[in-house]
Structure 1
């Protein structure tokens, strides 16, 4: 950080990070590539701005039909760092705006910020395609491959009592 403030130049980070921490506890992620980090840091107006893109190739399990599919995710990355407190909008010098991180060291470890951005950018409910039909609730057949022939009545559970009334 000190080098950027003295030179006023841009520093580039272009590397692959094998971060398994970002994918822990996600049974829908079957496989993943290392995260490709392409970031640029520059000093401007009392803070270091780090921005760029994070790219990762994933093999996911569809939440509806359970088939595996591949997806490449590109995530924008932007973080601001400063070594001295910046006055907040309300005039309180002790509080930093939420988007600026106060650091005490000359070097910044970007790995936790990369992990946070990747975790927040992962699909919450991965789908092989937007119009995925899922599985038949009776026989478990993948409905994207064709109809299974099961007769499925769609009945509102709130009206189930009335259905018995009309059977008589």
Structure 2
């Protein structure tokens, strides 16, 4: 996914960048991702005042393990994307200086920036549903399938002596 800065500067309008990216080399082997589809790109690149702005959205369908019940958790990620590039160091100033990438070549490979944005947006604690009850801490039964019948006495052992005090 190379973006030619000189060609983009010659154009008066934004250039669309669409298509699919295969993330197999990035996501294969990760224990937190079970399955995934291709990454759908819907980006546009524009050149204004010596700065190239690439913005838009990326969509990814993936399946992870639920962090509570270990079942499959399907995710639809809608990832915003915005990166700024320049070849002129004097344009880097102000509030956007931290977001600006200084490039020395005429072509910029967007793939590392796309992959970085995807990895940052992966859910840290994926859930199969927002109210997933998880696994029973005693027997390991999946509480999504029903109650297991285990007695839950959540008494802090440091305060267990107080329970005897109230029995009297």
TM-score bracket, shorter-length normalisation: 0.7 to 0.9
> Is 1:134 aligned with 2:134?
yes
- Counterparts of 2:161 and 2:121 in 1: how far apart (Å)? 44
Q: Which has the higher contact order (CA 8 A, sep 6+)?
A: 2
Which residue of structure 2 aligns with residue 98 of structure 1? Answer: 98
Aligned equivalent of 2:93, options 88, 91, 101? 88
Gaps of 5+ in 2: none
CA RMSD, 1 decimal: 2.2
Q: In the superposition, relative to structure 1, how do residues 100 and 147 fare at CA in structure 2: closer, same or farther (>3 Å)?
A: same
Q: In the superposition, relative to structure 1, how do residues 158 and 41 fare at CA in structure 2: closer, same or farther (>3 Å)?
A: farther
Q: Superposition pairs for residues 1-168 of structure 1, below 5 Å?
A: 1-23=5-27, 26-85=30-89, 86-89=91-94, 97-160=97-160, 162=162
Output one character per residue of 1:57-111: Cα deviation in whole Å (capped at 9) or x when no partner.
1011101001113221110100000000124239xxxxx8110101111111000
Whose helix fraction is larger, Structure 1's or Structure 2's? 2
Gaps of 5+ in 1: 91-95
- Counterparts of 1:158 and 1:51 in 2: how far apart (Å)? 55
Question: What's the CA shift for 1:24?
Answer: 5.0
134-143 or 9-18: which moved more? 9-18
TM-score for both structures, normalised by structure 1: 0.87
Which residue of structure 2 aligns with residue 93 of structure 1? Answer: none
What stretches of structure 1 move > 4 A for 4+ residues in a row? 160-168
- Counterparts of 1:78 and 1:161 in 2: how far apart (Å)? 58
